[in-house]
Structure 1
Amino acid sequence: MIRLSNVSHTFGDEPVLGDVSMSVEPGEVVGIIGPSGVGKTTLLRVLSVSLRPTAGTVELDGQAVWDVEESERLALRRRIGMVFQEASLFDATVARNVEYGLRVRQSWSERLTDQLWSVRGSNGTPEAVAEALDVVGLSDKVGQEAQSLSGGEAQRVSFARALAYEPTYLLLDEPTSDLDPRNTGLIEEAVAEARDRGIGVVVATHDMHQAERIADRVGVLLSDGFSEIGPTGTVFENPTDERTRKFISGELVY
């Protein structure tokens, strides 16, 4: 599992993430909700091993990730995928955009021998790419130029790109922000598919209804850390912390 213990972070003198402790196991979806500005994106960057926190410990399967050599830390980081709020695609086909995730995650020797590259479908697309596009409902767009996609389709390509190399953990930062209901539903179905594959998923979202729909556990992040983190039904229906209750009911808390 990924485990954070008493993690906090500051940029200069500005605290951006409070005292956070949490864990994420393969095969579960953890939703992160909370007011704007409490550090949800910063938390995802810490979980992705791309940002070293100012204080606290980050462990992946019992290994403190910031206590190892950079090469070993890179190997750990490669087990984690991330999808950002806004899709960032290359000026290439949909298939090539998804394939890029495989290229950067594998060494040259792995590319020469791995079935991801040697096994291809009738259209020449690696099976891992075709399968990932099928999960997000874009099998018919494989040869289309990415720049011609709608915003929702582009976000689904970003999801497929992260899913294609089969990460152990997948981090999503507001993955359905500004998307229409159809694309939102397809992303949520893809999250469920990732969980069924044994991938641990963390979704930071402002949409509390979405967190309630898709998450096994939910954490309410405030300025000083989680007010509460636990089973989704318990957090929404019977919170133990008064600040959690106020936030869920629409009151302004930090």
Structure 2
Amino acid sequence: MIRLSNVSHAYDGEPVVDDASLSVEPGEVVAIIGPSGVGKTTLLRVLSLSLEPDAGTVELDGDSVWDADEDRRLALRRRVGMVFQDASLFDATVARNVEYGLRVRRGWNDRIRDGLRSVLGSNGTPRAVEEALDVVGLSDTLDQEADSLSGGEAQRVSFARALAYEPRFLLLDEPTSDLDPRNTGLIEDAIREARDRDIGVVVATHDMHQAERIADRVGVLLGDGFTEIGPTETIFEDPSDERTRKFISGELVY
């Protein structure tokens, strides 16, 4: 489990996340919904273990992340993958882009160099890369240059790059923003596949319909922490907090 307890963070003295608590289990999808500027991306950065909050605790598998020494913290951070809204691919082939997450992790370079049968596919590409690209429907792009991809394809490669090193938790920041319905559907299918692989997935999204389609639980973030977190059906059909109801119905405008 990854758990945030009473987490707060501010930039230049302005609170962005305030007293937020959230836990995520392997094998579930949690959607964080809310308007722009309420701290969804900051919360993902805290969950990714790359941003130390000003207050509160962050635990992964029972370890208090920011109380751990540097080596232990790095080992914990390697269990979490992040997919940003901007795919940010390198000037290289699709395969090399997806391999990157493997190559920066201790031990993988030696395994790839040794050509272990369990690691490499028939063409010398790591099997994990082939499998991740298959999940996002891009198996035929291994040798294609990344700069030749469409925006939707690039975002799917970014997803595959995070999936290839088999994180325990996968965080996605507006992963389908401005994508066409086909690419959106393929990424949503990939999210479900990650859940089936027992990966915990957290998706920050403006798209409430997407949250309804893919999430097991939904957290509503409205600028002063979560108004509530609960099963998707409950949040959308019978929320307990009046602010949640007004936001879902469109009465609460930001």
TM-score w.r.t. structure 1 length? Answer: 0.96
Q: Work out the number of aligned pairs and report it.
A: 252
Deviations 1:94-124 (A, max 9, x none): 00000011011x21x4432479962322222
1:30 and 2:30 matched: yes
Match of 1:111 in 2: 109
| Contact persistence 1:155–1:175 (CA under 8 A) | yes
For 1:111 and 1:122, how far apart are their aligned partners in 2?
18
Q: Given residue 62 of structure 2, which amino acid in structure 1 is its aligned partner?
A: G
**Structure 1 runs not aligned, ≥5 long:** none
1:172 has 2:172 as partner: yes
Query: Counterparts of 1:1-254 in structure 2 under 5 Å?
Result: 1-104=1-104, 106-107=105-106, 109-113=107-111, 118=116, 119-252=119-252
Moved more, 115-124 or 242-251: 115-124
1:27-81 Cα shifts (integer Å, max 9, x gaps): 0000000111100000000000000001101011111100011111010000000
Over 6 Å off, 4+ runs: none
* In 1: Cα distance, 2:57 partner to 2:137 partner: 38
2:30 is aligned with what amino acid?
V
Given residue 196 of structure 2, which amino acid in structure 1 is its aligned partner? D
- Farther off after superposition, 146-155 or 9-18: 9-18
Cα distance between partner residues in 1 of 2:240 and 2:61: 29
Structure 2 distance, partners of 1:47, 1:120, is: 31
Seq. identity, %: 80
The answer to whether the Cα contact below 8 Å between 1:89 and 1:158 also exists between their aligned partners in 2 is: yes
Q: 1:221 Cα deviation (Å)?
A: 0.4
Aligned mates of 1:55, 1:115 — CA distance in 2? 43
Tell me the distance in 2 between the aligned counterparts of 1:57 and 1:134.
37
Q: What is the rounded CA distance, in whole Å, between the counterparts of 2:114 and 2:29 in structure 1?
A: 26
Uncovered stretches (5+) of structure 2, i.e. residues with no partner = none
Q: Match for 2:194: what amino acid?
A: A
SS in 2 for 1:123: coil
Letter matched to residue 84 of structure 1: F
